[in-house]
Structure 1
Amino acid sequence: MQQTTLTSFSNQSYVSRFTLLLVSVAMLSSCNVVKRVKDGEHLVISNSIIADSVHVSNERINNIIDQKVNSGIRKYFSTPLKLHIYNLARPNIDSILNANILSDSSKVNRNIAILSKKQFDKHIEARRNFNAWLKRTGEPPVIYDEDKTIKTAKNLRKYYYSKGWFNNNVTYDVEKDSNKLAKVTYKVTKKKPYILDSLRPLISSSAIDSVYPKFISATLLKKGEQYDEQNYENERERINTYLRNTGFYHFGQDYIRFELDTTKTNHKVHTDLIIANRTIRGDDSTTTEPFKIYKIKQVNIYTDDNFDNRFKVITDTATYKDINLYSKEKLKFRPKALTDAVFINKGDHYSDLARSRTSRYLNDLQMFRYPNIDFVENEADTTLTANIFLEPKKKYSLSFDPEINTSNIQTIGFSFSTGLKIRNIFRGAETLEISGIAAIGASKTRNDSEASFFDINEFGGNIRLTIPRLFSPFNTDKIIPKYMSPSTIINVSATSQQNIGLDKQAISGVFSYNWFPSNTVTNTLELFNVNFVKNLNTSNYFGVYTNSFSSLNSIAQDINYIDSDETLYDSSLSNSYAPADTFINDVLTGNTSLTSSDDDYLTVNTIEERKERLTENNLIISTSFDYKKDKRKNIFDNDFSVFKWRVELAGNLLSTISSIAGLSKNEDDNYDVFGVTFSQYFKTEIDYIKYVDLGNKNVLALRSYAGIAIPYGNSNSIPFAESFFAGGPNDNRAWTAYNLGPGSSKSTNEFNEANFKIHLSAEQRFSLFGAFQGAIFVDAGNIWNVLDNVTDDDATFTNFNSLKDIAVGSGFGIRYDFDFFVLRFDIGLKTYDPSQSDNNRWFRDYNFRNAVYNIGINYPF
């Protein structure tokens, strides 16, 4: 059910500002970009870097330029929108107001008489505020500055020096014209680069020197490669990480330095790797001593360390796998539940990695507030005592979430959900979550005046148990070690809906494993996913799928099955659509004038097949695996990729059991379980998203998706819930959801779906002004039927020639960034419509009258 949250906006000043701004922007073609550029100054309209006669397009290098041009210049139709908005502002607004209004007492008095003194003051202040808003929203002209150009040249020389061109030379040319415009060109002569040659270690501590052969084998400083300063920084970090994970507790990156010799070396770099001894600073003296390797002597966990317990004594202790557990009250956790989260082991060398893994695992348990790990040095034997302090969260927590919403099926609705979270329910750091939802609504199709206003209801409940380990009879530590934070989730839910579509009851259960092989990779294995859906009001099928009913009704009238003023609907019957069912039966049994070769007969047959499929109860028992690799570092990262892959097998277990048990098949030659024909299919999906940061808040976003679901064995079609659809605000935006495809068919179904899908999108996003952002996009894709019971050639994918039926939509959009979410408005135009004839597909309905207007929250991908 698609919902729209009802939100009220009371600040009308922003609406009026935006309206005025749009009018102003429409006249920008007559504006002068140098309107606010003073005589003797020049607006920078171009920056170019030429290295050895080659134009440099590398974004990293171009970002070195200190004085960048105004956003929009020579981009996006050469419209520097922010500069034009800034130019609309008056630089001397107070003088203008004083000269035009405030200095004329008669004009002031006349305005006060009309508006009142208070309103007049507000009017003057509003003009000042709007002028200030234009300046804030806009962007002042970038005036050429010689000092910044010199600074850029110096920084370019430093950059190329850092990449091995030690003798590079940078000059610049400035081209100024009589129109107050300036173009700046930086010319780089790189000359011969320097190449790495020898690497000599100078290590003061014998303990570090003894492990030098181990860590130097993976050095980033390779002989014969060009000098790169970043490689030296990365090498320092790599060596520091290695030593910090090999027992050198006091070691730090500052103890590593490199000395380079390039004197008379014929462009070769000789490097000395210097690792100094440890420096110990006292109150009034500084001493040095060799670094030592530290081992873990003892690991202690304080399980209830909090402010209230700070003066209490320890009353409960336990030891498990050489880890000591202490509690000031009765120990509430099984020792194994906590020791499994600890990677710091007695007798091991000190390791930063073990420390960080322990901290992450304890946080993932969601049992404690800010776990703290302290190491106490034992100087006498060069050991460390690891103390882990834990402050448990409250065992119980409640949540309440009321909502008011509207949707495509209800005028207004109210819902209330509540949840109870119980931590450490079985003393193994497990979390049990129990939630429920109750909703009522008023349907848009309510025809019975005597029925209650709120004729829609939905009730549901969910129980979810999270176990912080793999719940399995087998030892999986070697396959999925505990540093991957494995967990088991058991989820059971049930829902019941009334007056929503066909009405239904659904019960589902999931038993899944989750683990994280790295910071970027997430794996999920749903060992069992059971889903049972029972349709309660199948007699209302034609009330939901009204297009199918209209087609039947037209055919019945055309063949004189009913009179032209009659319909296949009878409100006096308990099943008002019983006449439609009778008509279908009469057509398919030969009791009408239609024969099996007639097009109308085939239409009726297709409608009946689809009706049977969409009204049948579904039983799906599947196993699936999800792989996700997300390289995005944070929410501000605009140069990353996300790869997702999912594979699912359904029905194999039930099919095997039914075959072994010798169960009889139904009239369709399929097995039934509890009176329901279970589904059997193979399904896989691949989704790849790539963001490319173009600089200056411009991002190119790309997406490619493909999915296929193949029925076999006990099924000849895919359940509706597992099929694919196309169109909508997050898909091909030139078509509404479920309205595209399959293939080139001219389907009139309310919900078009199929079992094979291809989707591609490209979108360029750029900053407009303030929090407003713009986008231009192209979406391509479609759905088809393949290897199932659909025989319509237009709707099936037969070979690569079917790719000509890929629909293309293009358009543009405006977004407003609220920081915590983005409100999106996109206009999609049908660029290539496969449902049209072959020679009339391009730009057939490419206009705003046939456009699709999409409103969405956040980006489409």
Structure 2
Amino acid sequence: MCMRLKLAKVKWFLGLFWLIALLTLAGCSEERRTKVVDYPIGKPFMYGNKVILKGSGTKDELKKLTTDLNNYWDDSARVRKEQRYLLGYRIKNPPVYNSINIIRSINYMNAYLNAQGYYYANFKDSIHKDSVGDQIRVNATITINQGKNISIDSVGYQLDDTTMQQLALQRMRGSQIKKGSPYSKQLISAELDRMISIYRRKGYYKLTREDLYAEIDTTDINLIELTLDPFKQAELIAESARKRRLNPTWNLTIKKRATADSSKLTQFKVANIYYYPETKITDVIDSITTSKGFIEEQHGDSYLRYQVGKFKYQPLKEHTFLSKGELFNEESYFKTMNTLGQIGAWQQVDSKIIERDKDSLDLYFYLVPALKQNFTIDLEGSRNTGDIGAGNLFGISTNLSYKNRNVWKRAIQSITNFRTGVELNLSLGNNNTNQQLVQTFNISAGHTFAFPKIIQPFKNWKALSTVDNKRTLLSFNAAYVDRKDYYKLRSILGSWGYEWKKVQRRSDDTWLFKPINVELYSLDTLPGLDTLFMKNPFLRNSFNTGNIYSQSLSYTKTINAANRKSHFIRLGVEETGLIFGLFKGLRNDIYRYIKVEAEYRQSKKWDKSEMAYRAFAGMGYNYGNYPGNKEISTLPFFKQFAVGGPYSMRAWGLRQLGLGSSNTYDSILTSTFRDRYGDMVLEFNAEYRFTMATIAGVKIGSALYSDIGNIWNLKKDPLDTKASFSLSNLATDLAIGVGTGLRLDFNYFLIRLDFAYKVKDPMRTENGGWMSIKNFNWTDIRSNGREVSNYALQLGIGLPF
């Protein structure tokens, strides 16, 4: 006991020492935290760069301009600072100061401002030299008054072709350039790209970006007015200069360049379509196009050319978005290539367009087959502990997978999985003679067919005509879980669903709809669980079994912004029993509930660090009666929420947090079964990740993080009121953990070791659940006399979110 107290004091003083050191270092100026190495001795060198904007504009506009302008320092004047050890910086090999490089930087910045519509900017540079030892440091500051941004006064189209002019006017609403829009070369470039895209979707196969240009008219129409009075003319010039300075505007006209090639104005149509589904990766496209060594099948206006016959024509046709006789559409052409490549049956898709006659195009698609079949074996391990000496669980599992990418020659994907694993108790020596080495054993097998199309009872569902990666999923799964001495759970699952995706430039939208989902469960309670039921009848609510006939819908959106910020949104809803519960014969044998989930993740990346956030909420409401037990009002335990472990609330062990601030589970005198499940979950995570070093190609990183959350039941139980959610008790019920960790990134996988401490534990009876700095403890004693750790070590694979 004495040794343990001494160890706790040592840990406490070490933690306090590092905290004070970190706060002291953070209080120093950035200059004192910056080290310069390999600098030129006796010569002034660049030590700092700074851009100051003095012009008007919104806070966000000025911030963006300042950030962008700092990227336009000349390379020989740019200072490159490397972040080291979280708060420190290092400058290596700083460039020698030369005033010419400052002038170059001003020219680069002026060119950038011109591109953004600022043509009347003023620049002033300031150079400050400072001697530190044998270092002659130079800080360069450029102060800029960018002036007013030029705006577009009018937008017009003069294309000298009736059809092109008509298309431009019809699609004018889609333009980002309108009267009053700020002038920007990037905006004009985007408008030219948009116009070319419109024309190439309407058959203008030979029209290119170089055939269009934007003409800018900066003339003030008042200056064209003829006058013989020199004073009047001077007044007009002065007035024009004043307007240009206060509110500069230009006129924009999109025009077509003159050309002698008349085919650029020809609208091409699709002729024949040829498929080569057995192309070898070593084949030369030009050679096989003219080769006679193929068997050819004609299907209407399309041709299938092969040598062995590994693929049917139907999946190729279903994923081709062009037909003979219609105007060539470049967007549909590339969509066809991308979709065929994403089915999975082919690893690579190439294409070629050959002109026929003066206005027709033959399309050739060359598809390289992917490896048809493959086996994979995965070995997974995880360790979860709330105490180094007691309560350790080590899980190990094996997953065997077989995949066939071309079932029945129709590019249908077939995946078979077999998984088995055990959860071992590593604390057998802690005077627990009744414990067993194997705590949990599970085994499961499943099979999924992924059809590369939507198989629906009704045809021509127009809502799905514009989406990508349409699939129909048929899945079966059987599982067996043996929680030693407590329960045995058997399940058989089957589902029929549809998945589709909408791909955009910087975001993807994925939908998964399962109109039919059947889950059959059988639960055997063993003596250990029956004993717990007698000690605490409340636990019986969490262990019930029955059948599920449900429908579910999930939506996922990923956004990758240009500023290295990414967003992830997931929404899901599952309903069971609404339809099948209408049948009296099934009403008493199935669950009836609705369950919803919502998750949002955001990450902002820098060169060697990242800030990540996650928010998750879930809720399930039981609006029916349990099969065989009308008194129970919660979800079945295999559909409830749980928190804790390597990926959720890391200061707590797996499934060891909750419910609310109830101590019901602590009243059970057992150390081998404390799993907790709830009908509602709220969780928020924030994590700052950074790279510390790279050794032998392995990135060694760390993180500082905080986890906030808990689980609850929705319906109140008079026997355990603190386990149900109440807005008035939310502050009391929320648990808070903070921690740090070590990450080893091998590129293809990441090993993570996290340490977390319970800053606020709803089960802690003192100080409102908050930790005490004065009476700091690594452990707490619960009401049942069991010693519980206030910290946890978690070993995980991959990032937590």
Note the alpha carbon deviations across 1:302-329, whole angstroms, 9 max, x for none: 4444479966644452425x43434445
Q: Which residue of 1 aligns with 2:522?
A: 534
What displacement does 1:680 show? 1.9
837 and 144 in structure 1: CA distance in 2 versus 1, 3 angstrom threshold:
farther
User: Of residues 134, 137, 154 in structure 2, which corresponds to 1:198?
Assistant: 154
**CA distance in 1: counterparts of 2:549 and 2:511, whole angstroms:** 20
User: Of residues 554, 558, 561 in structure 2, which corresponds to 1:626?
Assistant: 554
Counterpart amino acid of residue 360 in structure 1 = N
**CA distance in 2: counterparts of 1:237 and 1:848, whole angstroms:** 64
Note the alpha carbon deviations across 1:356-390, whole angstroms, 9 max, x for none: 22112212322224223322112x34111122233
**CA distance in 1: counterparts of 2:438 and 2:769, whole angstroms:** 45
- Alignment partner of 1:795 is 2:728: no
Q: Which residue of 1 aligns with 2:367?
A: 390
Q: Which residue of 2 aligns with 1:857?
A: 797
What displacement does 1:159 show? 2.4
Counterpart amino acid of residue 51 in structure 1 = K
Q: Which residue of 2 aligns with 1:736?
A: 653
Kept in 1: contact 2:152–2:178 (CA 8 A)? yes
Kept in 1: contact 2:710–2:734 (CA 8 A)? yes
845 and 787 in structure 1: CA distance in 2 versus 1, 3 angstrom threshold:
farther
> Unpaired segments of 5 or more residues in structure 1?
1-23, 84-138, 280-286, 543-576, 585-603, 664-669, 673-677
Note the alpha carbon deviations across 1:773-807, whole angstroms, 9 max, x for none: 44333332222221264752322222345344322
- Alignment partner of 1:261 is 2:217: yes
What displacement does 1:747 show? 4.9
> Which has the larger displacement, 248-257 or 818-827?
818-827
TM normalised by structure 1 equals 0.72
- Alignment partner of 1:276 is 2:257: yes
**CA distance in 1: counterparts of 2:277 and 2:34, whole angstroms:** 67
- Alignment partner of 1:651 is 2:635: no
SS at match of 2:265: coil
685 and 342 in structure 1: CA distance in 2 versus 1, 3 angstrom threshold:
same
**CA distance in 2: counterparts of 1:746 and 1:453, whole angstroms:** 28
Q: Which residue of 1 aligns with 2:273?
A: 299
Counterpart amino acid of residue 487 in structure 1 = R
536 and 163 in structure 1: CA distance in 2 versus 1, 3 angstrom threshold:
same
Kept in 2: contact 1:244–1:352 (CA 8 A)? yes
> Which has the larger displacement, 168-177 or 643-652?
168-177
What displacement does 1:350 show? 0.7
SS at match of 1:371: strand
Note the alpha carbon deviations across 1:123-162, whole angstroms, 9 max, x for none: xxxxxxxxxxxxxxxx556776655544433332222222
**CA distance in 2: counterparts of 1:823 and 1:440, whole angstroms:** 21
User: Of residues 658, 678, 685 in structure 2, which corresponds to 1:761?
Assistant: 685
- Alignment partner of 1:188 is 2:144: yes
What displacement does 1:644 show? 0.7
Q: Which residue of 2 aligns with 1:14?
A: none
Q: Which residue of 2 aligns with 1:574?
A: none
Report 1:15-164 matches (<5 A).
33-34=34-35, 36=37, 37=39, 38-41=41-44, 44=47, 47-52=50-55, 56-58=62-64, 59-65=67-73, 67-68=78-79, 70-72=81-83, 79-82=87-90, 146-164=99-117
Counterpart amino acid of residue 212 in structure 2 = I
Note the alpha carbon deviations across 1:1-22, whole angstroms, 9 max, x for none: xxxxxxxxxxxxxxxxxxxxxx
**CA distance in 1: counterparts of 2:523 and 2:598, whole angstroms:** 31
633 and 218 in structure 1: CA distance in 2 versus 1, 3 angstrom threshold:
closer
Kept in 1: contact 2:52–2:142 (CA 8 A)? yes
Note the alpha carbon deviations across 1:805-844, whole angstroms, 9 max, x for none: 3223333444343323343344333333333458544443
User: Of residues 399, 404, 411 in structure 2, which corresponds to 1:422?
Assistant: 404
**CA distance in 2: counterparts of 1:354 and 1:740, whole angstroms:** 52
417 and 690 in structure 1: CA distance in 2 versus 1, 3 angstrom threshold:
closer
**CA distance in 1: counterparts of 2:323 and 2:298, whole angstroms:** 16
Kept in 1: contact 2:51–2:141 (CA 8 A)? yes
Counterpart amino acid of residue 739 in structure 1 = Q
Counterpart amino acid of residue 857 in structure 1 = I
443 and 743 in structure 1: CA distance in 2 versus 1, 3 angstrom threshold:
closer
> Which has the larger displacement, 177-186 or 515-524?
177-186
SS at match of 1:507: strand
SS at match of 2:205: coil
**CA distance in 1: counterparts of 2:423 and 2:676, whole angstroms:** 26
**CA distance in 2: counterparts of 1:609 and 1:841, whole angstroms:** 24
**CA distance in 1: counterparts of 2:417 and 2:608, whole angstroms:** 42
**CA distance in 1: counterparts of 2:719 and 2:460, whole angstroms:** 47
Report 1:196-595 matches (<5 A).
196-205=152-161, 207-264=163-220, 266=244, 267-277=248-258, 290-306=264-280, 313-320=293-300, 322-330=301-309, 332-333=311-312, 335-378=313-356, 380-393=357-370, 395=372, 397-401=373-377, 403=379, 405=381, 417-437=399-419, 444=426, 458-481=442-465, 483-498=467-482, 502-519=487-504, 520-536=508-524, 538-541=526-529, 584=534
**CA distance in 1: counterparts of 2:772 and 2:82, whole angstroms:** 35
What displacement does 1:469 show? 1.5
**CA distance in 1: counterparts of 2:353 and 2:513, whole angstroms:** 37
Aligned alpha-carbon RMSD (Å): 4.0
SS at match of 1:212: helix
Q: Whose strand fraction is larger, Structure 1's or Structure 2's?
A: 2
Kept in 1: contact 2:704–2:741 (CA 8 A)? yes
> Which has the larger displacement, 297-306 or 639-648?
297-306
Kept in 1: contact 2:380–2:398 (CA 8 A)? no
SS at match of 1:173: strand
**CA distance in 2: counterparts of 1:62 and 1:654, whole angstroms:** 64
Q: Which residue of 2 aligns with 1:719?
A: 636
Q: Which residue of 1 aligns with 2:599?
A: 687
Kept in 1: contact 2:123–2:144 (CA 8 A)? yes
Report 1:818-857 matches (<5 A).
818-836=746-764, 839-844=767-772, 849=778, 850-857=790-797
Counterpart amino acid of residue 269 in structure 1 = W
Kept in 2: contact 1:717–1:788 (CA 8 A)? no
What displacement does 1:399 show? 0.4
Counterpart amino acid of residue 352 in structure 1 = E
> Which has the larger displacement, 517-526 or 803-812?
803-812
Alignment size in residue pairs: 693
790 and 815 in structure 1: CA distance in 2 versus 1, 3 angstrom threshold:
farther
423 and 290 in structure 1: CA distance in 2 versus 1, 3 angstrom threshold:
closer
SS at match of 2:480: strand
TM normalised by structure 2 equals 0.76
SS at match of 1:815: strand
Counterpart amino acid of residue 108 in structure 2 = N
760 and 457 in structure 1: CA distance in 2 versus 1, 3 angstrom threshold:
closer
Q: Which residue of 2 aligns with 1:122?
A: none
42 and 838 in structure 1: CA distance in 2 versus 1, 3 angstrom threshold:
farther
Kept in 2: contact 1:173–1:185 (CA 8 A)? yes
805 and 27 in structure 1: CA distance in 2 versus 1, 3 angstrom threshold:
closer
What displacement does 1:233 show? 1.4
Kept in 1: contact 2:151–2:250 (CA 8 A)? yes
Q: Which residue of 2 aligns with 1:173?
A: 126
Kept in 1: contact 2:216–2:251 (CA 8 A)? yes
289 and 840 in structure 1: CA distance in 2 versus 1, 3 angstrom threshold:
closer
Counterpart amino acid of residue 70 in structure 1 = K
Note the alpha carbon deviations across 1:494-526, whole angstroms, 9 max, x for none: 133456563433221121110113341000012
SS at match of 1:470: coil
**CA distance in 2: counterparts of 1:362 and 1:374, whole angstroms:** 15
751 and 773 in structure 1: CA distance in 2 versus 1, 3 angstrom threshold:
same
**CA distance in 1: counterparts of 2:738 and 2:90, whole angstroms:** 25
Kept in 1: contact 2:743–2:752 (CA 8 A)? yes
Q: Which residue of 2 aligns with 1:608?
A: 537
Kept in 1: contact 2:205–2:264 (CA 8 A)? no
**CA distance in 2: counterparts of 1:535 and 1:219, whole angstroms:** 62
